[in-house]
């Protein structure tokens, strides 16, 4: 099968860690690789953001990345890219006249605009994965949301026009329903994890004698790292390692978090280590007693899954994709977002019980390996492509096997 993916701002070749590089880059790269290993021919179209980039790069067996000239060949924030999506779409239209794919899979809403423009009049089905919905972002960020003002209107249209919306978590299905997308127009396929890289066994980063709490990921305010810093005064036995950085936005957030830590009297127990190379992430994860991920909202959340695959329990905010991946009381704990007291209570409980920590970590690794390997994710995605091509009725999300059989979250601080 010829599969074209469109990922306008998130290149599968880009190192993650900046304000606009993260889970989507990993998702596109790993899904393309896994589909290529299954014998498909995958081309990923992403915007040229450097004049020195080649037109096309072979990224692995069956996988090519094509750099699309759309706007200036330089770095731009993703929220500034909307004016260049017509140019991006016109490039796709020219390519697809001579080399039409069997399916096009757009990642992020602006990629969807380009894909639909490119596919106009061709009959190429366009599947859509949003990775984040503007309605959710606007709800949580309000006036601070930098998205273009037209995003919500255009996103709703894309969701209704797609051959199929591939949601990454169950919570997204309800959000899409509010946009008028019928249940049969959505299928849930989660993100995955590299089970060869993220394993319970392997090197561990050096640590001191304190309990280690780890926060890892992009450093932007909505990721909720401040909540973890504010919980630390009530967890006197622990240090907090904050890993992330790599751009001016992250640097500003590091400065702000340093001030918060000093104001809370825990500056000596908060260690900001900056951006960590991807190859070093598993060792850092294994060095932690617990990984904390408490964003205000989260379309999926790959760090908790990577931590679980390394056998490390996770405390996560009870939002978005975390509700599917983190089994409260079995692989970690769920807490309300922006609630330092609830987070501190769960941290104290778990860190005081090494046997329970070990049991949660073991269950976390088993859960990650049983459900979230990229081979399985690629197989499920391929099935959706084939059903779209066959014109078959797709099962409603509630008819598909649930990603987890999680129990309902316990009350904050309560024992499951």
Evaluate whether 2-162 and 211-370 have a shared fold: yes
**Is the pLDDT confidence value at 81 over 70?**
yes
Tokens 């919980």, residue?
A: 231
CB 89 within 8 A of CB 71: no
The secondary structure of residue 198, as a DSSP letter, is: S
Minimum mean pLDDT range among 81-95, 143-157, 255-269:
143-157
This model's pTM is above 0.75: yes
Count Cβ atoms within 10 A of the Cβ of residue 268 and give its class: 0-12 exposed, 13-18 middle, 19 or more buried. exposed
Q: What is the spatial distance between Cα 145 and Cα 149, in angstroms, rounded to a whole number?
A: 9
* Residue 399 confidence (pLDDT): 37
Distances, alpha carbon 350 to alpha carbons 223, 341, 358, 414, in Å: 22, 14, 10, 12
Q: Give 39-65 pLDDT, tens digit per residue.
A: 999 999 999 999 999 999 999 999 999
* Residue 15 confidence (pLDDT): 54
Q: What is the spatial distance between Cα 181 and Cα 189, in angstroms, rounded to a whole number?
A: 17
* Residue 92 confidence (pLDDT): 98
Q: Give 348-396 pLDDT, tens digit per residue.
A: 999 999 999 999 999 999 999 999 999 999 999 999 999 999 986 554 4
Q: Give 261-271 pLDDT, tens digit per residue.
A: 999 999 999 99
Q: pLDDT-derived band of residue 143, with 50, 70 and 90 as boundaries?
A: confident
CB 359 within 8 A of CB 340: no
Domain residue limits, the chain:
2-162, 211-370
Q: What is the spatial distance between Cα 160 and Cα 164, in angstroms, rounded to a whole number?
A: 9
Q: What is the spatial distance between Cα 268 and Cα 327, in angstroms, rounded to a whole number?
A: 32
Average pLDDT on 219-232 reads 95
Q: What is the spatial distance between Cα 168 and Cα 165, in angstroms, rounded to a whole number?
A: 10
User: Encoding tokens for residue 60?
Assistant: 């692995």
Q: pLDDT-derived band of residue 144, with 50, 70 and 90 as boundaries?
A: confident
* Residue 396 confidence (pLDDT): 44
* CATH code assigned to 211-370: 3.40.50.2000
Q: Give 169-180 pLDDT, tens digit per residue.
A: 999 999 999 988
Q: Give 20-36 pLDDT, tens digit per residue.
A: 457 899 999 999 999 99
User: Encoding tokens for residue 146?
Assistant: 């930098």
The secondary structure of residue 105, as a DSSP letter, is: E
From the candidate CATH numbers 3.40.50.720, 3.40.1190.20, 3.20.20.70, 3.40.50.2000, the one assigned to the domain spanning 2-162 = 3.40.50.2000
């Amino acid at each position: 099968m010829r599969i074209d993916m469109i990922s306008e701002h998130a290149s599968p070749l880009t190192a993650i860690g900046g304000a606009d590089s993260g889970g989507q880059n990993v998702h596109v790269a790993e899904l393309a690789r896994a589909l290529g290993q299954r014998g498909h021919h995958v081309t990923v179209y992403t915007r040229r953001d450097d004049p020195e980039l080649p037109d096309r790069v072979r990224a692995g067996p069956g996988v090519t990345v094509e750099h699309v000239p759309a706007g200036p060949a330089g770095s731009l924030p993703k929220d500034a890219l909307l004016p260049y999506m017509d140019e991006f779409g016109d490039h796709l239209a020219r390519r697809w006249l001579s080399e039409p794919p069997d399916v096009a899979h757009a990642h992020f809403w602006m990629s969807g605009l380009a894909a639909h423009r490119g596919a106009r009049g061709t009959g190429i089905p366009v599947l859509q994965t949003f990775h984040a919905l503007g309605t959710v972002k606007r709800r949580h960020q309000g006036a601070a949301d930098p998205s273009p003002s037209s995003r919500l209107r255009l996103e709703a249209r894309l969701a209704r026009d797609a051959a199929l919306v591939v949601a990454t978590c169950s919570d997204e299905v309800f959000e899409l329903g509010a946009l008028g997308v019928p249940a049969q127009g959505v299928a849930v396929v989660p993100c995955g994890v590299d089970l060869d890289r993220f394993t319970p066994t392997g090197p561990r980063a050096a640590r001191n004698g304190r309990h280690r709490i780890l926060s890892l990921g992009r450093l932007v305010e909505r990721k909720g790292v401040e909540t973890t810093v504010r919980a630390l005064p009530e967890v006197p036995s622990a240090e907090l390692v904050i890993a992330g950085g790599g751009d001016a936005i992250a640097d500003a957030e590091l400065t702000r978090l340093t001030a918060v830590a000093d104001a809370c009297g825990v500056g000596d127990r908060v260690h900001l280590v900056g951006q960590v190379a991807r190859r070093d992430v598993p060792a850092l994860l294994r060095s932690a007693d617990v990984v904390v991920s408490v964003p205000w909202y989260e379309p999926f959340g790959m760090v908790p899954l990577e931590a679980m695959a390394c056998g490390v329990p996770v405390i996560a905010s009870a939002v978005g994709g975390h509700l599917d991946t983190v089994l409260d009381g079995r692989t970690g704990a769920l807490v309300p977002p922006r609630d330092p007291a609830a987070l501190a209570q769960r941290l104290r409980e778990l860190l005081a019980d090494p046997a329970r920590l070990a049991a949660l970590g073991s269950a976390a690794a088993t859960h990650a390996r049983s459900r979230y390997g990229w081979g399985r994710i690629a197989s499920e995605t391929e099935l959706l492509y084939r059903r779209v091509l066959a014109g078959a009725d797709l099962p409603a999300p509630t008819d598909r096997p649930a990603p987890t059989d999680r129990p309902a979250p316990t009350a904050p601080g309560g024992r499951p």
